[in-house]
Amino acid sequence: MDSGARADLGPLVDDLRRIFANRLIAVAAYGRALQRLVPSLVLVESLSLDDLDACAARAKDWQRARVAAPLVLTRDEFGRSADAFPIEYAEMRETATVLFGSDPFLLVGEMSYEDLRRACEVQIRSHLLYLREEYLECGGRPRDIAALVVDSAPGFAVLLRHLARLEGASPANAAELAAFVGARTHLDVRVFDDVMALANPDQTSTVDPTRIFPAYLEAVTSLARLVDAWRELPTPSASLPAFSREPGPDASGPAQST
C-alpha cells in the first residue's frame, strides 16, 4: 500500500478515532494498487449497532475519497477467525500497511498449511462451478462470456498466488506466477498470462476474453484436481511463515504520508 493510499485513509482514521475513541485498536490499509477503492481492516474492543450507524453516516464521504467501507471486527472475532478465512487474511496480511495502533496480524500469527490448502480447494472448486453455471446463463452470447471471464479474473489471480504459496513459491510478478502454475499443471502458460492480464484494469490488454474461455475453464478444472491430490502428499511444513513487513506506527495516531 503506497503513501497515496495512506493519505486517502487519513480522514477515515480520524472518523474512526472519533467514533470508537479508546476502543479503537488498529486500522490497516490493504489491497493492491489496481483497486479503485482502498480497503481497510479496523479492529475494535467492542462493536454496537450505534457504532455501525455512525460509520454508515460517513460512508459516502469515505467513498468520495476513494476509501471503501472498512471491515470492522472486534479483537476476539478477528483472532478466532483465521482458520475460517485463511486466503482472505493471508492476502490482507501480504499487502497491509498499519495506519493506526498495533499490527492486527499479530493476533492471528502464522497461517496453517492445512487451513490454507482446504480453503484453496473450496475456492477453486467454487470458482469452477461458478464458471460452468454462469457460462450456461450466458446462452452462447460472446459479450456475456467476455464479461464472465473479465469479472472472474481478479479472484482467479488471488487463488493462483495462494496456490503458489502452498508449494513454497514466491513469484515476484504475474509472469513468474503464470510460469510457475503453468509448469505445475502442465498447461500452456499463456492462459494464465491472459487471465492475469485481464485481472489488472490498469493494464491495456489485447486478450479476447471470449476466445480464451475454453482454455480458462480447462485450467481451473486442472487446478481443482491438483489441489485435491495434495491431500495425499506430506505437509511441507507445520505452518506457513508469517509475512515480514515494516512495523506500523504506535497508537498515538495515523501514519503521516511523505
Residue 258: the pLDDT is 33
Q: Which domain holds residue 146?
A: 112-232
Question: Of 122, 15, 125, 126, which Cα lies nearest the Cα of 70?
Answer: 15
Residue 33: the pLDDT is 61
The contacts of residue 173 (CB under 8 Å, 6+ apart) are none
Residue 179 lies in a domain: yes
> Are residue 100 and residue 129 in the same domain, yes or no?
no
Report the alpha-carbon distance of residue 204 to residue 236 in Å, rounded: 38
Report the range of poorest mean pLDDT among 112-116, 186-190, 207-211: 112-116
- How far is CA 169 from each of CA 68, 115, 172, 176, 198, rounded to the nearest angstrom? 31, 18, 10, 10, 23
pTM here is 0.65
Residue position matching grid coordinates 511444513: 237
Residue 12 lies in a domain: yes
> Are residue 55 and residue 160 in the same domain, yes or no?
no
Q: Once rounded to an integer, what is the mean pLDDT over residues 95-117?
A: 84
Report the range of poorest mean pLDDT among 7-11, 54-58, 83-87: 7-11
Residue 58 lies in a domain: yes
Residue 174 lies in a domain: yes
Residue 73 has pLDDT above 70, yes or no: yes
- What is the tally of structural domains in the chain? 2
Residue 256 lies in a domain: no
Residue 43: the pLDDT is 97
> Are residue 117 and residue 132 in the same domain, yes or no?
yes
> Are residue 50 and residue 139 in the same domain, yes or no?
no
**What CATH number should be reported for the domain holding residue 88?**
3.30.460
Final residue before a domain boundary, out of 81, 109, 137: 109
Residue 117 lies in a domain: yes
> Are residue 127 and residue 84 in the same domain, yes or no?
no
Residue 185 has pLDDT above 90, yes or no: no
Q: Once rounded to an integer, what is the mean pLDDT over residues 109-120?
A: 77
- How far is CA 49 from each of CA 2, 18, 42, 46, 53, rounded to the nearest angstrom? 32, 16, 16, 11, 6
Report the alpha-carbon distance of residue 239 to residue 121 in Å, rounded: 17
Residue 29 has pLDDT above 60, yes or no: yes
Residue 130 lies in a domain: yes
Residue 86: the pLDDT is 82
Residue 121: the pLDDT is 86
